[in-house]
Structure 1
Amino acid sequence: MDEDNNIEERLLSFKEEEGSNLKRRICSESKKIWRIATPGVISRVSSFGTIVVTQSFVGHISAVDLAGYALVQTLSVRFVNGILIGMSSATETLCGQAYGAKQYHMMGIYLQRSWIIDLITLLILLPVFLFATQIFNLLGQDGAIAKSAGYISLWFIPFVISLIFSLTVQMYLQAQQKNLIIAWLSALQFALHLLCSWLFVFVLELGLPGAMAALCISSWFLVVGEFVYIFGGWCPETWKGFSIAAAKDLWPVFKLSVSSGAMICLELWYYAILVLLAGYTTDAQVSISAFSIWYPMSLYTHLNIVAVSKIVGVSIFSLNINAWIVMIILGIMGAACVRVANELGSGNAEAVRFSIKVIMAISLTMGIVFWILCLAFGKSIGYLFTNEEEVAETISGLSILLAFTVLLGSIFPVLSGVAVGSGLQSKVAVINLICFYGIGLPVGIVLGYWFNLGVQGIWVGLTGGVLTQTCSLSTLIWRTNWDEEVSKTSARLKKWYLESPSDNDKNIEC
């Protein structure tokens, strides 16, 4: 009996120790995730905030300029940024994996390669901004709005160029868990943007040029701050200076960048197209007003100045619920990318699996919280943003769909982050194409127009596309052989590895 009791005691002790070890592992992984995610959230909120602030100041100048700004921001900038952000995400994959493999000097080379590829890409896309007036005229836009949009597009060129550097540098620093500086710089950028916007528009009365100049100044302030941090010696192991080696092996990096770009663009453009479809429902003005409260900067291409002014009055200056939630989820998405890439680079498949489980648990928990809040307060949220009864009722009718969209929206971006971290962008691009454009979009069109369900039908299609994409991504991640992915990562890093003049330097600590 005593021997049996001893065995039971040892088993109980082992289980307690195992449980305690699991708790420690979860806590440790959670800290790593939030250490990466928190600065990312702050950076994205600040970046989104500068766009909203500029839009608000432009709205105080004229309705025509506000409509032109909305056109450029939602069509031209979103189109170009979708490509650039997607192609820049290759930097996350390569820098994250290189850091995990302790190939620190390669991170600086990958960063420079991304600059070359993104700048060439932007050069090809510049006609979108240079000929904006002609493009919007072809789309049937009001002449005054098209002319204003053409002028505003020219101001957005330096802003978009700054994004190439700020995005890639953030990914580079994030991969080595040095992105706290990005949070501080982003907060300062937002404060500077507020100050400059107020000074230029209200004090100096510079009008539209003042509002756009403030946007350019604040965006380049962030870039200069990042350059000072990197070139000033705070990344001694990962930045060895500019190198001719950055011009080598551009083609394989370009192919990975294109896969990343296709993956991101297919997601971003999906929402833009659905909002555009909402504008052709029976009551376009109410539909777009409702959509714009959930989704930022809706499309106004088919409406005249008067309609735009009415919509702007009830939505454009409001906080955008879904956008702020997305900022948080995108921060976690970045953390997912970094953690998976780091562990793949270090060759630890088991750590990859564990990290994915913890990340998904965090994002799902947050999604459930937001889901409950949307269900509980969805019917009254509309009145926070508008006094228009018809718009508020439309929003109320969408509250249940919104709740499930938010729940799914807390899952699939994180799964996308896992895919980016592991270099599976091409597979995700195919999934996005099928789920969004083969399922979600056709279903939304049929329900919205064929069955006359209007914006509710379109949103059902949107949710259906997101649901199928989430299920497909979950299946992809679940069935991925992570030991095999470790081997692929190791082979890729060895193939692109270049000797560093200081290979004997000490490795930096994780």
Structure 2
Amino acid sequence: MDNSMQEKLITSETEQNDDHLKARVFQESKKIWRVALPSVVSRVSSFGTIVVTQSFIGHISSVELAGYALVQTLGIRFINGILIGMSSATETLCGQAFGAKQNHMMGIFLQRSWLVDLVTLTILLPLFFLATPIFKLLGEDEAIAISAGNIAIWFIPFSYSLIFSLTIQMYLQAQQKNVVIAWLSLIQFAVHVLLSWLFVSVLGFGVSGAMSALSTSSWFLVIGEFVYVLGGWCPDSWKGFTWAALKDIIPVVKLSVSSGVMICLELWYNAILVLLAGHLKNAEIAISAFSICLNISGWQFMICLGILGAACVRVSNELGRGDAKAVRFSIKVLISTSVVIGLIFWTLCLVFGSKIGYLFSNEDEVALAVSDLSILLSFTILLNSVYPIFSGAAVGAGLQTTVAIVIIVCFYLIGLPVGIVLGYVFHLQVKGLWIGMICGVITETIALSYMMHRTNWDEEVIKASARLKRWNLETPNEKPSNHA
């Protein structure tokens, strides 16, 4: 009888623990998707405009498709990688400020990021105008290099729009007000498809029409964001333009640079692979097929980046609040969620891989080359669902420099040499380059998972608190909170 009662008590206690765990997972998932869903929608929609532009240009000519692929995958990833990375400092600082209830500092951090990013892009501006000679110098086909140079000029207004759209999205995301970004991004995507069809298919403006549609729709999103932020919908965090944005800007620059290096090293790796593809046999087909697969992978990766953003927000918020246990639990739920999504897209890619290429080109050779890469593409998509969560947690904690070192070792010292050897020495061509990329992703995933396991989150709480106290400024409307 005693044993029976004891077994019932144990069973009851186990059920209560299970119910408590389910409730915790459900509550954490709600917090995650409150941030992640709008971010996923906005990122998928925004990146979708680039993919749609590629599709319209691909049906103009194969040379223009290769030129667009070259400049978008090499030049724009290089420049926008810097902007995206440097903007992630906004994500770290705003997230921790919101968690520590120092809301007034969020608008100041946002303005500082604008200044840093505007100066950075202006310094990089000559790269747009020198695209053709740079690509020729790198050994690319002359016709493709000339096409890429013309397209690069059209990317200038698009790149300037990214400065504001990225930082404002991170600013709103940190305070869980990014639903408006999702709606604006959906409208932007619809406007972009409509303008692309009108300019290219109806009016016959060709490449200039496709690129005009991209620039117009990108600034539509920025204008909508400014209306929301400056129009009074963020009264606690936006106190207007202020000279305080110029104070303590050097530490922000340092954090921005480390953030920029982290993101750039990931994006530039893909760019280097496309550059190498340009030196393979039948470069036009190789570049087109490789970039199509990268953009498909990149489009799915936008979902992972949305969850990465949620990881950054949840980690930074909890660090700002001083709850290390909540950080650990949130990371576990985030990884589980992302892996499930990765498995779904892995299956879709395996099923429809042979038909994807025809969405971007009428050329049978291009479509066949894309189909040939579809198996590797599907496994890349699956692997992409894990390591972004660790990267997001690192951004939320301000550990960008450490992640940058991991990326250098995994991608550039392991993945890139493996890809070069397989592609050129063993004559696997584009497949060899892609296998090398997968090796880099696998080693990065293992390294980051170990890094997250070894991270002392109690120490990170102390560091976040010290950073916020050091950079906090009093305002007449709000006194700084000492809570961290």
Change (3 A) 1:52 1:404: closer
Unaligned runs of 5+ in 2: none
Of 39-48 and 435-444, deviating more is: 39-48
Of 387-396 and 70-79, deviating more is: 387-396
Residue aligning to 1:108? 107
| TM alignment of 1:2-13, pairs within 5 A | 6-13=5-12
Superimposed CA distance per residue, residues 205-225 of structure 1 (whole angstroms, 9 cap, x where no aligned partner): 555444333222211111111
Of 209-218 and 353-362, deviating more is: 209-218
The separation in 1 between residues aligned to 2:243 and 2:155, in whole angstroms, is 31
Which of 350, 361, 371 is the aligned partner of 2:336? 361
The separation in 2 between residues aligned to 1:148 and 1:387, in whole angstroms, is 19
Which of 409, 418, 432 is the aligned partner of 2:384? 409
Residue aligning to 1:460? 435
Change (3 A) 1:193 1:238: same
| TM alignment of 1:169-248, pairs within 5 A | 169-203=168-202, 206-248=205-247
Residue aligning to 1:426? 401
In the alignment, structure 1 residue 16 sits paired with structure 2 residue 15 = yes
Q: Shift of the alpha carbon at 1:176? A: 0.8
The question of whether the paired residues in 1 share the 8 Å contact of 2:65 and 2:288 is answered with: no
Matched-pair identity in %: 66
Residue aligning to 1:53? 52
Superimposed CA distance per residue, residues 65-123 of structure 1 (whole angstroms, 9 cap, x where no aligned partner): 55543333222211110111011011111111111111111111110110010011111
- SS state of the match for residue 123, structure 2? helix
In the alignment, structure 1 residue 274 sits paired with structure 2 residue 273 = yes
The separation in 2 between residues aligned to 1:503 and 1:385, in whole angstroms, is 53
The separation in 1 between residues aligned to 2:368 and 2:132, in whole angstroms, is 36
The question of whether the paired residues in 1 share the 8 Å contact of 2:319 and 2:464 is answered with: yes
| TM alignment of 1:146-185, pairs within 5 A | 146-185=145-184
The question of whether the paired residues in 1 share the 8 Å contact of 2:103 and 2:237 is answered with: yes
Superimposed CA distance per residue, residues 3-23 of structure 1 (whole angstroms, 9 cap, x where no aligned partner): x65554444333222211111
- SS state of the match for residue 267, structure 2? helix
Of 273-282 and 344-353, deviating more is: 273-282
| TM alignment of 1:356-395, pairs within 5 A | 356-375=331-350
- SS state of the match for residue 236, structure 1? coil
In the alignment, structure 1 residue 339 sits paired with structure 2 residue 314 = yes
Change (3 A) 1:407 1:127: same
Change (3 A) 1:159 1:484: same
Q: Shift of the alpha carbon at 1:387? A: 8.4
The question of whether the paired residues in 1 share the 8 Å contact of 2:376 and 2:434 is answered with: yes
Residue aligning to 2:77? 78
- SS state of the match for residue 295, structure 1? helix
The separation in 1 between residues aligned to 2:153 and 2:357, in whole angstroms, is 35
Of 202-211 and 90-99, deviating more is: 202-211
- TM-score, structure 1 normalization: 0.87
The question of whether the paired residues in 1 share the 8 Å contact of 2:128 and 2:152 is answered with: yes
The separation in 1 between residues aligned to 2:204 and 2:430, in whole angstroms, is 40
The separation in 1 between residues aligned to 2:61 and 2:382, in whole angstroms, is 38
Change (3 A) 1:377 1:37: same
The separation in 1 between residues aligned to 2:355 and 2:134, in whole angstroms, is 40
Residue aligning to 1:491? 466
- SS state of the match for residue 45, structure 2? helix
Change (3 A) 1:53 1:407: closer
Residue aligning to 1:324? 299
